[in-house]
Amino acid sequence: MKHIFFLAVAVLCAAGISHAQERAAAFFDTAVAQHTCAPWDGAAITVTLTHAGQEYPKWMVSFYRLPAKTGTWLDFSDANEGYATYCKEQNGCVPAQAAKVMLNKMTDNEVSGELQAEMDGATQSFPFGASVLPGNALCG
């Protein structure tokens, strides 16, 4: 019986560590933006949020109406505004249940703002500042 108790404690501790790692994943310290295309082949910008030196987990956020207006929320419940997708691992991407982006700054070289996304019933905020990679996407 004593062994079962210690096994149960070990499992609960491991679950707590896993949950702590998930909470730590809520902070993304690296962001990069690039020119992409909207579903209808119009211009778009996609910002990818990751941890330094890691490909996953990551958020990918695209906004389609360019130039995007700063200082207002872009609500992705309107699919014409954009989308936000969370990728825990390769081939493990799921769209946010709800998302919106506030752009603070958008120039040819830089995009900054905040993503608010809902996953599993919890809303999290992710501030970002990203350099825009050179080059344009060939849309249309």
pLDDT of residue 28: 87
pLDDT at 119 over 80: yes
Q: pTM for the complete prediction? A: 0.78
The residue among 34, 18, 86, 28 whose CA lies nearest residue 52 is: 28
Please give the Cα distance from 32 to 22 (Å, whole number).
Answer: 22
Residue ranges of the domains in the chain? 28-132
What integer is the mean pLDDT of 41-62? 93
